């Protein structure tokens, strides 16, 4: 039972084509946005080997694992995002609603204000008077950044920086390695040839630096080299991973060894997510505290100075 009318019509079309004699893979291929290349090639290999049922089972397990990892990453980011939004709202309310009323008193008294209070007044006036320009500028900056990230140079520079970031880069690399190993293991177990499997895996990593590594490894394999040395030469895959893959190649159990790599890196991913969450939560609290503290201190400092002057 399918609720989406579009998906229902696609399934109806696929069923009609299968009834007319087309293979399931060929019937799914015209809908790449619904059934990616990974699905189509696995099913084609399953049909060719007569093991379609087991291939579909592997595909279901694979998708379930990918959704599990994605869910954990999204869950880890919810709390920091909520804190960021809450902190932004609090500071905006202070800057627009409270600061102008209090700092107006200082201006009327012609009091000499410290630099941080002057900065606070400037920021408050900027937000209150030019909020539309700030929103427009932020939107334009985000648009320009996203447009640049779609370019070849933007993807390469951005993904290189991401991989070098502490904690975050480590998490991105582990997720990519887990996805690489699990996908390649699933494809090879389903009967897909190694070179074709690498072409499919490459498009699923989500990082052009690692995609380039897989492309170079595929080219090296085409010339007769094994996959492990090609991956090791890039420096992007940890020695443990390349060693396990080399053992799998020598023993003829590459699919099993890749599955073990994926399982190990799933655990590593969970550990990195916990570390990232443990780092981001106190960091966001500190950032919020510093922001609110700056506003409060910048208001209270001239008040205390005026009180001291009045007392003398």
Percent of the chain scored above 70 by pLDDT?
96
DSSP letter, residue 114: P
What mean pLDDT comes out for the span 106-127? 80
> 293-311 burial, b if ≥16 CB within 10 A, otherwise e?
eebeebbeebeebeeeeee
Alpha helices in 50-114 (DSSP H): 52-93, 99-108
Predicted confidence band at 136 (pLDDT cuts at 50, 70, 90)?
very high
Cα 69 to Cα 17, 62, 183, 198, 272: the distances in Å are 35, 11, 14, 21, 12
* pLDDT(310) > 70: no
Residue 104 backbone dihedrals phi, psi, to 5 degrees? -60, -35
pLDDT in tens, 57-107: 888 888 888 788 888 878 877 888 888 888 888 888 888 888 787 777 776
Domains by residue range for the chain, with CATH = 52-312 (1.20.81.30)
Instruction: Give dist(CA 126, CA 134) in Å, integer.
Output: 9
Q: Kindly state the tokens that stand for 87.
A: 């902190």
Indicate if the pLDDT at residue 2 is higher than 70.
no
Helices (H), the chain: 5-19, 24-28, 37-49, 52-93, 99-108, 115-150, 152-164, 168-189, 194-202, 208-222, 227-234, 239-251, 254-311
Look at residue 144 in the predicted model and tell me its pLDDT. Answer: 95
Instruction: Pull the structure tokens for residue 261.
Output: 């790599």
Q: Give me the sign of the Cα torsion angle 239, 243, 249, 254.
A: negative
Residue closest to 218 by CA, chosen among 236, 230, 203, 206: 230
Contact indicator for 221, 227 with CB cutoff of 8 Å: yes
Q: Looking at the predicted structure, is the pLDDT value of residue 263 above 70?
A: yes
pTM of the predicted model as reported, rounded to 2 decimal places: 0.76
Mean pLDDT value across residues 18-47? 86
Please tell me the predicted confidence (pLDDT) of residue 147. 93
> What is residue 260's predicted lDDT score, i.e. its pLDDT?
92
pLDDT band at 192 (very low <50, low <70, confident <90, very high): confident
Helix, coil or strand: residue 226? coil
Q: What distance in Å separates the CA atoms of residue 304 and residue 61, rounded to the nearest whole number? A: 65
pLDDT of residue 3: 56
- According to the model, what pLDDT value does residue 252 have? 87
pLDDT at residue 245, rounded to an integer: 92
The predicted structure's pLDDT at residue 108: 66
């Amino acid at each position: 039972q399918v609720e989406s009318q579009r998906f229902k019509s696609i399934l109806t079309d696929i069923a009609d084509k299968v009834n007319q004699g087309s293979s399931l893979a060929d019937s799914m291929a015209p809908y790449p946005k619904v059934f990616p290349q990974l699905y189509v090639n696995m099913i084609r290999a399953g049909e060719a080997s007569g093991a379609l049922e087991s291939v579909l089972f592997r595909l279901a397990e694979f998708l379930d694992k990918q959704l599990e990892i994605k869910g954990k990453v999204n869950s880890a980011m919810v709390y920091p995002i909520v804190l960021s939004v809450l902190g932004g709202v609090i500071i905006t309310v202070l800057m627009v609603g409270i600061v102008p009323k209090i700092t107006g008193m200082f201006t009327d008294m012609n009091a000499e204000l410290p630099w941080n209070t002057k900065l606070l007044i400037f920021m408050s006036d900027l937000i209150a008077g030019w909020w539309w320009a700030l929103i427009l500028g932020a939107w334009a900056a985000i648009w320009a950044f996203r447009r640049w990230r779609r370019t070849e140079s933007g993807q390469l520079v951005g993904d290189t920086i991401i991989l070098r970031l502490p904690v975050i880069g480590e998490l991105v690399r582990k997720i990519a390695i887990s996805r690489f190993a699990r996908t390649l293991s699933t494809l090879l177990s389903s009967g897909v040839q190694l070179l074709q499997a690498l072409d499919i895996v490459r498009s699923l990593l989500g990082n052009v630096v690692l995609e380039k590594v897989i492309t170079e490894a595929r080219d090296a394999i085409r010339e007769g080299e094994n996959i492990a040395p090609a991956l090791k030469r890039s420096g992007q895959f940890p020695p443990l991973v390349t060693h396990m893959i080399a053992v799998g190649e020598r023993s003829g159990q590459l699919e099993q060894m890749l599955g073990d790599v994926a399982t190990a890196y799933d655990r590593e991913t969970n550990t990195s997510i916990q570390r990232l969450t443990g780092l981001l939560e106190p960091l966001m609290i500190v950032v919020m505290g510093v922001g609110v503290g700056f506003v409060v201190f910048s208001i209270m400092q001239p008040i205390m100075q005026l009180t001291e002057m009045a007392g003398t």
